[in-house]
Amino acid sequence: ARPTGVDDRQDARPTGVDASQLDGTVQVSEARDVGGIYVAEVKIRFVNSRGEAVDKKGKPIEGRISEDFIRGELKLKAGDNYSQDVVRSDLQQLQQLGLFDKVTVSTEEVGTDINVIYNVEERSARSFGVSASLSDDIGVAIPLSYIDRTLGTNPQRVSVEVQPSLRDLEYDVQFVSPYVAATDRLGYSVRTFRDRRTSDIFNDDIDLPNGNRVREIRMGANLAVTKPLGDWRGTLGLNYTNISTRDRNLKIARRDELGNPLTFSGTGVDELYTVSFGATLDRRNNPFNPTSGSILSLSTEQSIPLGQGNILSNKLLANYIRYVPMNLLGGGDSETLPEMLAINLQAGTVIGDLPPTEAFRLGGRNSVRGYDSGDIGSGRSYFLASGEYRFPVGTDVGGVLFVDFASDLGTGDSVLGQPASVRDKPGTGAGAGVGVRVRSRFGLIRFDVGVSDGGEIKFVLGTKQRF
């Protein structure tokens, strides 16, 4: 039924906005009270990467995904009162489906009412990638990747990454069936993996007795289920990970050249059987391209004393990100990367048994820029703080000024074998620098130049924002 009093609220109607003008934000004037505005219709409009609803021939873009399916995932229905909180919840649900690169929301006036339009940019049904790399560790490698988003019913997808090389075979295979709101169907995922890396805990000129650097081999599997819990989204997981320390030829290594143990079991192999639970509270205005709001993630992971090492521990993690809109440069249009202050705070600790390979690694491209990965320290606990001032430079180019800080909170000596202490890692470090963000047809590209508090300069080239 149409709500009463709508005709008396004509001054509160939002202004109609074309989809191409959006930028991941809900286009309703915050200066007006829009509560109670009657939603005449909820529309689904398919758009391209430029936000255009028509193709080069002027014809409406047709979507691969059924409009009825998308509409079924939305809480906002025709006949409801407009609510920004409901729209934000809808955007979160669409984002976790994994079907869309971007979704924005616009409105149009219909007499004294409004139509609400969800402008969706679909991801490709399938994608395949191949490249080549060369390193002194594994020689020539051929990374291959494949993603299929049409497996089974609409939201289900499978991703396969395989990297054969002269010395190893790495892989990461995952099947995801996300939570479906229309049927309240539990989301779940299954994953198996094998990963090889040169250790950034056992580094800095202290190697193995044979002169090789320490390699960490991780292989395992996990099963996770997910479901909304009120305003939070919860995930429960069962996990198995086999972690081994090896030389270049994959021979098991138990100790470094100073005689310090590399694993908790002392055999060169640790096994972790864990139960994990995580909860996320998302208050961002749009998870596809946030310009304001916050997101808080909390998790705990309890290990069960089985297998090599009989490890009994609990890992606690917290991650908070805040986006604060800024207007120091006088604003900009929707085509620019938005001006904002972005803040990230992280903390974590491990209670109980701690394999050295599971210590928190501080420093690197996703930690403190200006340091190489793990060069600040590896501890039982950690704290990390990062701040970025992001500002538009051109239509598809933005700039970033950033500051990073991390500390192991004095816990480096509590890690078995004291890998950070014997390698003279400081345990605390900071970095600052500048960066460039470029929108491209392949997504957001970032390039950062970080300077550590010790004067070292590091360059970072990657994709997506740091956080």
Tens of pLDDT, residue by residue over 38-72, are: 999 999 999 998 889 998 888 999 999 999 999 99
Region 429-442: mean pLDDT is 93
- Considering the chain, tell me which residue range(s) the CATH 3.10.20.310 domain(s) occupy: 38-122
pLDDT band at 13 (very low <50, low <70, confident <90, very high): very low
Mean pLDDT of 341-359: 98
Which residues of the chain does CATH 2.40.160.50 include?
178-463
169-177 and 187-198 beta bridge pairing: antiparallel
Tokens of 10: 């004509």
The tens digit of pLDDT for each residue in 103-113 reads 999 999 888 89
pLDDT tens sequence across 288-316: 989 999 999 999 999 999 999 999 999 99
Selected from 2.40.160.50, 2.40.30.20, 3.90.420.10, 3.40.47.10, the CATH number assigned to the domain covering 178-463 reads: 2.40.160.50
Position 223 pLDDT exceeds 50: yes
Residue 100 pLDDT exceeds 90: yes
Query: What local confidence, expressed as pLDDT, does residue 153 receive?
Result: 65
Segment 116-144 shows an average pLDDT of 91
Residue 87 main-chain phi, psi, to 5 deg: -60, -45
**Residue 166's pLDDT is what?**
87
Q: DSSP alpha helices (H): ranges in 277-355?
A: none
Res 5 pLDDT > 90 = no
Query: Using 50, 70 and 90 to split pLDDT, how confident is the model at 154?
Result: low
Q: How many CA atoms lie within 13 A of 129 on its CB side?
A: 12
Q: Would you say residue 128 has pLDDT above 70?
A: yes
pLDDT tops 50 at residue 4: no
Q: Phi and psi (nearest 5°) for 373?
A: -60, 125
* Placement of tokens 């000024």 in the chain: 401
Whether the per-residue pLDDT at 18 is higher than 50: the answer is: no
pLDDT at 146 over 70: yes
Q: How confident is the model at residue 139 (pLDDT cuts 50, 70, 90)?
A: confident
Q: Write out pLDDT tens, residues 233-264.
A: 999 999 999 999 999 999 999 999 999 999 99
Residue-wise pLDDT tens digits, 170-221: 999 999 999 999 999 999 999 999 999 999 999 878 999 999 999 999 999 9
Counting Cβ atoms within 10 Å, is residue 429 exposed (0-12), middle (13-18) or buried (19+)?
A: buried
pLDDT band at 372 (very low <50, low <70, confident <90, very high): very high
Tell me the mean pLDDT in the region 83-93. 94
Amino acid at 436: V
**Model confidence at 437: pLDDT above 60:** yes
Give the per-residue pLDDT at 457.
97
Asked whether residue 143 carries a pLDDT value surpassing 80, the answer given is: yes
Question: In the block, which residue shows the tokens 């928190």?
Answer: 360
What topology does CATH give the domain 38-122?
Answer: Ubiquitin-like (UB roll) (3.10.20)
Query: For 62-71, 273-282, 333-342, 370-379, which range has the lowest pLDDT when averaged over its residues?
Result: 333-342
In angstroms, the Cα distances linking 137 to 161, 196, 198, 219, 268 are: 19, 10, 8, 18, 19
Whether 21 shows a pLDDT value over 60: the answer reads: no
Rounded Cα distance, 277 and 263, in Å: 25
